């Protein structure tokens, strides 16, 4: 004798397949948890690797020298004894690059060093910034 519940379960099983047993559900949970742990570990490794900078800068000042040059001041943070090369940009009102200078920094005895870079420009600049720095080998 079948009941409406038995008929309903049979109809659902025909349409969607049998429900997974307890062991299959447990395996799926374990695999899901392992994938979550791997994802978190990958995120942590990526975060550590991407923030492992040899050189970091803080912009400090900007001054127009004349229509063909500006001075950009910035602070370079790196391990004592390290040498680096920083790229400094001069920008116009539309934030277009109108000058660039590659500035050698170091080696210094201190972790932080104030640097002032003079950047020649092709037109009057209204701003400047450090595009980036990279560690160089002596």
pLDDT per residue as tens digits for the range 65-116: 888 999 999 999 988 888 999 999 999 989 899 999 999 998 889 889 999 9
Position 138 confidence tier, pLDDT thresholds 50, 70, 90: low
How far apart are alpha carbons 51 and 40 in whole angstroms?
A: 17
Q: Is 11 left (phi over 0), alpha (psi -120 to 50) or beta?
A: alpha
Q: Which residue did the predictor score with more confidence, 90 or 25?
A: 90
pLDDT of residue 51: 58
Please classify residue 57 by burial: count the beta carbons closer than 10 Å to its beta carbon, then call 0-12 exposed, 13-18 middle and 19+ buried. buried
- CA distances (Å), origin 85, targets 33, 47, 65, 132: 45, 24, 23, 8
Q: Which residue did the predictor score with more confidence, 122 or 23?
A: 122
Q: Which domains does the chain have, with CATH numbers?
A: 4-50 (no CATH), 55-136 (2.60.40)
Question: What are residue 86's DSSP bridge partners?
Answer: 103, 133
Position 52 confidence tier, pLDDT thresholds 50, 70, 90: low
Residue 78 · residue 106 · CB < 8 Å: yes
pLDDT of residue 88: 93
Residue 107 · residue 82 · CB < 8 Å: yes
Residue 100 · residue 119 · CB < 8 Å: yes
Distance of CA 30 to the CA centre of its chain: 32
Give Cβ neighbours of residue 18 (< 8 Å, ≥ 6 apart): none
Mean pLDDT of 31-52: 80
Q: What's the predicted TM-score (pTM) here? A: 0.60
């Amino acid at each position: 004798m079948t009941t409406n519940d038995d008929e309903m379960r049979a109809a659902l099983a025909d349409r969607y397949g049998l429900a997974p047993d307890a062991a299959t559900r447990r395996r799926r949970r374990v695999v899901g948890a392992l994938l979550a742990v791997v994802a978190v570990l990958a995120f942590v490794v990526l975060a550590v690797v991407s923030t492992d900078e040899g050189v970091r800068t803080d912009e400090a000042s900007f001054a127009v020298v004349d229509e063909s040059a500006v001075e950009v001041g910035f602070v370079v943070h790196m391990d004592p004894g390290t040498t680096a090369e920083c790229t400094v940009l001069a920008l116009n009102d539309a934030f277009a690059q109108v000058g660039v200078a590659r500035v050698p920094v170091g080696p210094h005895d201190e972790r932080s060093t104030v640097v002032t870079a003079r950047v020649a420009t092709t037109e009057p600049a209204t701003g400047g910034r450090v595009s980036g720095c990279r560690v160089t080998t002596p």
